Structure 1
Amino acid sequence: MATISEQNASSISPVIRLHRSDDVVIARSQLVGGTVLQEEGVTVSGLVPPGHKIAVRAIGQGQPVRRYGQIIGFASRPIAPGEHVHTHNLAMGEFQRDYAFCADAKPTRVADGNATFDGIVRPDGRVATRNYIGILTSVNCSATVARAIADRFRRDIHPEALGAYPNIDGVVALTHGVGCAVDAEGEALEILQRTLGGYVVHPNFAAVLVIGLGCETNQIARLVEKQHLEALVSTGRLSTYNIQETGGTVKSIERGVELVQGLLAKANDARREPVPASHLVVGLQCGGSDGYSGISANPALGAAVDLLVAHGGTAILSETPEIYGAEHLLTRRALNAQVAEKLVARIRWWEDYCARNHASLDNNPSAGNKAGGLTTILEKSLGAVAKGGTTNLVDVYEYAQPVHAKGFVFMDTPGYDPISATGQVAGGANLICFTTGRGSAYGCAPTPSLKIATNEALWQRQQDDMDLNCGPILAGTKTIEEVGAELFQLMLQVASGQRSRSEIHGYGQNEFVPWQIGAIT
């Protein structure tokens, strides 16, 4: 799949061509009817918003339409050269994808030099990028107690509570809306327990409290047993209790406050030290995507991922419904046939899941995506996979499974960003990189999240929420590789303790959203 850096784009050109075989080009800014696209030999007919597509040749009804050199849909009516191409004349359609298992697999480049960041080395050797105390809940019924405990340690409300503990990033309550009225032996509870277990052992938590009501399906004792957390209990890194056994809300809050106070001194002993970049596990996200996402921010993140992998680190691509139609680009990069087959199996699971629920995998893009220029899920997916760079796909994981492989991997998650990132963090991600074209307000405690703007207009409008601007790629003043290198350095800086914009604003506690799957009875 070609990128803008391959076409030697100039800021003078009003459009961007991504591949020589494309049927469309992309407007750099709003174009009006009568604008002549000299390099394409066509004249624009009608108003075309920024980030949207213009046909550069006549396309007959039913014919495929290509962007990135790949099919993004089929003409639903005849399209003339210079015409705006969008939902009114472009639709989904079935076509065969060439999975070509492992055809593009290649040796992984090893970087020259040793990139490092200042991390916190835990006793088991894993490396943290933050140092939190976490309060988790087994069920929605204990959420109020958990939040009340965390509020006692909020620096903006009670600055004295953590005043003597500067090495602690905070005390956070991560609550959720499930935990009961589900099959005690079913997949829904298994996923919830796997997610909670992944957070309990996450290196960014110095210690964790898990609070329950007492009568819920998701019994804490069973959670500890199923997720093999007994050793954490015996060492004091994990404490658990139930509201019913403790004597109600007030007593449960006071007990939690007392337990947290007893953890502060030890948690504050954490110190940062230089560690190799191979200890970074980065979750890749895109939300509020637009027509520029697959041109600027996503490829720039992909370039940073290639650098990370070259330094021995790990990157997790996710959001299975948002690689649908582009999965063949990943199977071609699979390290072996088994990895490719695992990815295809997850695609087939989603096709069956949607059919059982009378839904469709092509109900994407969202209204905001369409306003930004994306028309079909095929087009959106082709841009989304660019976040994964160009290295081999070395493994595929189910939701919230622990990620142990080094290199570029895939985790099966829904496309909804909070659910997807929650699964990545449960799998061990200690940094999130989140690209956006329409604008996003998102954070992800206990893991810092970097927000990456696809275009200059977004950067100017919502700069207070953004950490990096990829607009210079569209303007032709910087290459994808240059911005990717800047992003890689920013990843190291934030992993070393530099706060991201979402951290400064206090995002993170409300964005813990485990995947709810299965019947609630």
Structure 2
Amino acid sequence: MINVSENTIVQTSPSDNVGIVCHALGVRKGALVRKDIVVAQDIPMGHKVALLEIPEGNEIVRYGQVIGYANTNIHIGEWVDEQKMTLPQPPDLESIPLNHNSSDDSKEVQIEPLAGYTFEGYRNADGSVGTKNVLGITTSVQCVAGITQFIAQKIKQELLPGYPNVDDVFAFNHSYGCGVAINAPAAIVPIRTIQNIAQNPNFGGEIMVIGLGCEKLRPERLLPAGDNNGDSSILYLQDEAFSGFEEMVDGIMDMAEKHLKKLNARKRETCSAADLVVGMQCGGSDAFSGITGNPAAGFAADLIVRAGGTVMFSEVTEVRDAVHLLIPRTATPEVAQKLKNEMQWYDDYLEKGMADRSANPTPGNKKGGLSNVVEKALGSIAKSGTSPIVDVVAPGEKIRRKGLNFVATPASDFVCGTLQLAAGMNMHIFITGRGTPYGLSMVPVIKVSSNSTLSNRWFDLIDFDAGPIAFGEKTIEEMGWELFHLILEVASGKQKVAADRLGIHNDLVLFNPGPLT
């Protein structure tokens, strides 16, 4: 429950000893808040004010959880920022019990079903459903990236107008494929990412693979096992049948036209909300993200799960410090152990790279009021809602189960989005407090603003303003339902998101922990 004072100070939990400044102009030194607290200095919007005396060494509490320890005496009304806090240790993975859901660990948590909600989507032969109808072009090696960019533009200009049911042409270029240790254990991460992105439901199975010819990663490996479309879906630029660049281009254009004809025959049909596969992600977060945007997205996530659909949340480094709150939500002890394993894998990965979690948050996050990664993590997990976690998916793998999944990814926006695409998402929710023009060509990206100041300033870039929650103007439940209905409208193609309307689409970025050679 969020308590909002008449002076716009938000306290996220009754046990918190700090509050968040909501007013767009912040609060000035000498202002009276909570009727009995005099602000000791100017405090910007989104930053923390001490609601109680916090002696040196004592806990600083937000969300009812310890986010740090005071490294100096903090008085009532003072600004509490990262300079006054010591970062606590992360939860010890070994000491967290595997499951708290039931005395009978064999029983999974049941959720109340939500029936009758549908959207208009593109049903595929494998049972998946697309929310867009996109011609996908991928590569087996970065060497051909220049020609795929060239050809994508040529297809858009010369061929796409003749196929009105096809939404877009997308070239997935990447830095992998050659000069790499292709059989190293960690190489499976980028390889299966490319493989699984090619199977994303918005491509409708009509993927094209452009190879060079001498690369280590063979194009045939990128098509699904048993796929018999190799001759019509793979083209090698080194094929001796081509004489010069123009013949290569003509060959690709001929291949594209065959795929466009098949995609153009696809029609939207009524599909259950159970066919949604929604990726939840936040980037450019601020102190409001965990109060407004993420909880509203989390409520919508619960509605999707209740409707029989699939939701994924990610970002290991922004989950690690709140994992003790997630493990009790896992459906079985086996899922709990998988979640621990992914946390440990990433701990080891960071240690090998001589990095640690203090590198997160970013300067922009801190300017938005997030003092450290613990505070960021506690707000980040709110977008997962309250549903049981039914499975944990390793980087680059596909979703296996309907319901709420943790899909392990780095926190980087571009890498996280890439891995969620590989997992099979057909809708993307992106929550931001500082602002980002982030968009993806392959799936619609609904950008949610955590505060109305950003939404008003970026009126043509933000799709959904969750800011009213901070002032008590709307509840998390009300905004969660609004977001749920918006997801159905966008998935049906009835409403375009800002990124698609403006043509703003980010490159995809592989997570490649494998060695180069």
| Alignment TM-score, normalising by the size of structure 1 | 0.93
- By how many angstroms is 1:229 displaced? 5.3
Match of 1:289 among 271, 285, 289: 285
In structure 2, the partner of 1:79 is 74
Match of 1:505 among 477, 482, 502: 502
Deviation per residue, 1:80-103 (Å, 9 max, x gap): 111101121012122656734332
Match of 2:60 among 56, 62, 65: 65
Counterpart-to-counterpart distance in 1, 2:261 and 2:143 = 30
Q: Which secondary structure state, in structure 1, belongs to the residue aligned with residue 15 of structure 2?
A: coil
Is 276-285 or 104-113 further displaced after alignment?
104-113
In structure 2, the partner of 1:196 is 194
Q: Does 1:92 align with 2:87?
A: yes
Structure 2 CA distance for partners of 1:338 and 1:405, relative to 1, 3 Å: same
Question: Gaps (5+ residues) in structure 1?
Answer: none
Counterpart-to-counterpart distance in 2, 1:93 and 1:312 = 38
Match of 1:56 among 39, 51, 67: 51
C-alpha contact (below 8 Å) 2:101/2:109 kept by paired residues: no
C-alpha contact (below 8 Å) 2:91/2:323 kept by paired residues: no
Deviation per residue, 1:400-446 (Å, 9 max, x gap): 21102111110110000111111111111000100000001111221
C-alpha contact (below 8 Å) 2:109/2:331 kept by paired residues: no
Counterpart-to-counterpart distance in 2, 1:315 and 1:512 = 20
In structure 2, the partner of 1:21 is 15
Deviation per residue, 1:222-260 (Å, 9 max, x gap): 444xx52534437x5xx1122122455433222111111
Deviation per residue, 1:417-476 (Å, 9 max, x gap): 111111111111000100000001111221111100011110011121111001111121
Structure 2 CA distance for partners of 1:286 and 1:110, relative to 1, 3 Å: same
Q: Does 1:362 align with 2:337?
A: no
Structure 2 CA distance for partners of 1:153 and 1:221, relative to 1, 3 Å: closer
Structure 2 CA distance for partners of 1:112 and 1:179, relative to 1, 3 Å: closer
Counterpart-to-counterpart distance in 2, 1:329 and 1:475 = 27
Deviation per residue, 1:458-509 (Å, 9 max, x gap): 001112111100111112110010000000000001110132111112233x
Match of 2:131 among 129, 132, 157: 129
Counterpart-to-counterpart distance in 1, 2:126 and 2:409 = 28
Question: Given residue 176 of structure 1, which amino acid in structure 2 is its aligned partner?
Answer: H
In structure 1, the partner of 2:142 is 140
C-alpha contact (below 8 Å) 1:199/1:426 kept by paired residues: yes
Q: How does 1:147-186 map to 2 (within 5 A)?
A: 147-154=149-156, 158=157, 161-186=159-184
In structure 2, the partner of 1:113 is 115
Q: Does 1:403 align with 2:402?
A: no
Structure 2 CA distance for partners of 1:198 and 1:290, relative to 1, 3 Å: same
Structure 2 CA distance for partners of 1:430 and 1:232, relative to 1, 3 Å: farther
In structure 2, the partner of 1:213 is 212
C-alpha contact (below 8 Å) 2:90/2:321 kept by paired residues: no
In structure 2, the partner of 1:342 is 338
Question: Gaps (5+ residues) in structure 2?
Answer: 103-107
Counterpart-to-counterpart distance in 2, 1:104 and 1:337 = 9
Q: Which secondary structure state, in structure 1, belongs to the residue aligned with residue 54 of structure 2?
A: coil
Deviation per residue, 1:287-306 (Å, 9 max, x gap): 00001000000000000001
Counterpart-to-counterpart distance in 2, 1:253 and 1:302 = 46
Q: How does 1:373-392 map to 2 (within 5 A)?
A: 373-392=369-388
Q: Which secondary structure state, in structure 2, belongs to the residue aligned with residue 163 of structure 1?
A: helix
Q: Which runs of 4+ in 1 moved over 4 A?
A: 95-98
C-alpha contact (below 8 Å) 2:301/2:385 kept by paired residues: yes
Counterpart-to-counterpart distance in 2, 1:60 and 1:247 = 77
Q: Does 1:46 align with 2:44?
A: no
Counterpart-to-counterpart distance in 2, 1:248 and 1:402 = 39
Question: Given residue 316 of structure 2, which amino acid in structure 1 is its aligned partner?
Answer: T
C-alpha contact (below 8 Å) 1:139/1:179 kept by paired residues: yes
Is 273-282 or 498-507 further displaced after alignment?
498-507
Is 259-268 or 423-432 further displaced after alignment?
259-268
Is 202-211 or 102-111 further displaced after alignment?
102-111
Counterpart-to-counterpart distance in 2, 1:248 and 1:52 = 60
- By how many angstroms is 1:104 displaced? 4.7
Counterpart-to-counterpart distance in 2, 1:460 and 1:175 = 35
| Matched residue count | 504
Q: Does 1:424 align with 2:404?
A: no
Deviation per residue, 1:91-133 (Å, 9 max, x gap): 2122656734332578433334311000111122221111011
- By how many angstroms is 1:153 displaced? 2.5
- By how many angstroms is 1:180 displaced? 1.6
Counterpart-to-counterpart distance in 1, 2:462 and 2:516 = 38
Q: Which secondary structure state, in structure 2, belongs to the residue aligned with residue 439 of structure 1?
A: coil
C-alpha contact (below 8 Å) 2:10/2:21 kept by paired residues: yes
C-alpha contact (below 8 Å) 2:91/2:322 kept by paired residues: no
C-alpha contact (below 8 Å) 2:114/2:303 kept by paired residues: no
- Percent identity of equivalent pairs: 37
Counterpart-to-counterpart distance in 1, 2:114 and 2:318 = 34
Is 377-386 or 66-75 further displaced after alignment?
66-75
Question: Given residue 219 of structure 1, which amino acid in structure 2 is its aligned partner?
Answer: R
Structure 2 CA distance for partners of 1:520 and 1:28, relative to 1, 3 Å: same
Is 97-106 or 303-312 further displaced after alignment?
97-106
Structure 2 CA distance for partners of 1:458 and 1:344, relative to 1, 3 Å: same
Counterpart-to-counterpart distance in 2, 1:88 and 1:375 = 8
Is 284-293 or 51-60 further displaced after alignment?
51-60
Question: Given residue 55 of structure 1, which amino acid in structure 2 is its aligned partner?
Answer: A
Q: How does 1:225-374 map to 2 (within 5 A)?
A: 227-228=224-225, 230-233=227-230, 236=232, 239-245=233-239, 246-247=242-243, 249-374=245-370
Q: Which secondary structure state, in structure 1, belongs to the residue aligned with residue 448 of structure 2?
A: strand
Deviation per residue, 1:255-309 (Å, 9 max, x gap): 1111112222221111111110000000110000001000000000000001000
C-alpha contact (below 8 Å) 2:90/2:320 kept by paired residues: no
Counterpart-to-counterpart distance in 1, 2:289 and 2:226 = 40
In structure 1, the partner of 2:105 is none
Q: Does 1:102 align with 2:91?
A: no
Question: Given residue 473 of structure 1, which amino acid in structure 2 is its aligned partner?
Answer: I
Q: Which secondary structure state, in structure 1, belongs to the residue aligned with residue 356 of structure 2?
A: coil
Deviation per residue, 1:324-380 (Å, 9 max, x gap): 210111101010111111111111111111111110022110000000000110000
